[in-house]
Amino acid sequence: MSEELAQRSCVPCRGGIPPLRGEALLELSAQLPEWEVVDEHHLQRELSFSNFREALAFVNRVGEIAEAEDHHPDIWFTWGKARIQIFTHKIDGLTESDFVLAAKISRATS
């Protein structure tokens, strides 16, 4: 996990910019090997927990991070599992802020 990414702040997207592709996408994704880049569209990570309470606590931590950054992932969770998807809805693709948020979430899991 890139501590440098986790130290940055998410920047609001005003639209009108292209999603990350190619080399820029590969460079950022290499810094977060625990996250999967799906179809050059979103980041995804699945985590396992010992029980429902731990999964819920994790989701709540992610919610606090998302609110602090004003950048909100899609979250699914059930007993012992959570899945996070991150992309910039305004451009329907990935921006650097998505990787910043992913790094902050990764830091919260360590």
CATH number where 64 lies: 3.30.1360.20
Apex 102 CA angle, 77 and 83, nearest 5:
15
> pLDDT tens for residues 78-109?
999 999 999 999 999 999 999 999 999 999 88
Cross-strand pairs, 38: 42
Cα distance between residue 79 and residue 109, in whole Å: 17
CB 71 within 8 A of CB 103: no
Question: What percent of the chain lies above the pLDDT cut of 90?
Answer: 81
Please state, in angstroms and rounded to a whole number, the distance separating the CA atoms of residues 72 and 13: 12
Average pLDDT score over the chain: 93
Look at residue 14 and tell me if it is in a domain. Answer: no
**Domain of residue 51, residue span:** 37-110
User: How many domains are contained in the chain?
Assistant: 1
53 in helix, strand or coil? helix
Distance CA 63, CA 73 (A): 9
pTM of the model as a whole: 0.93
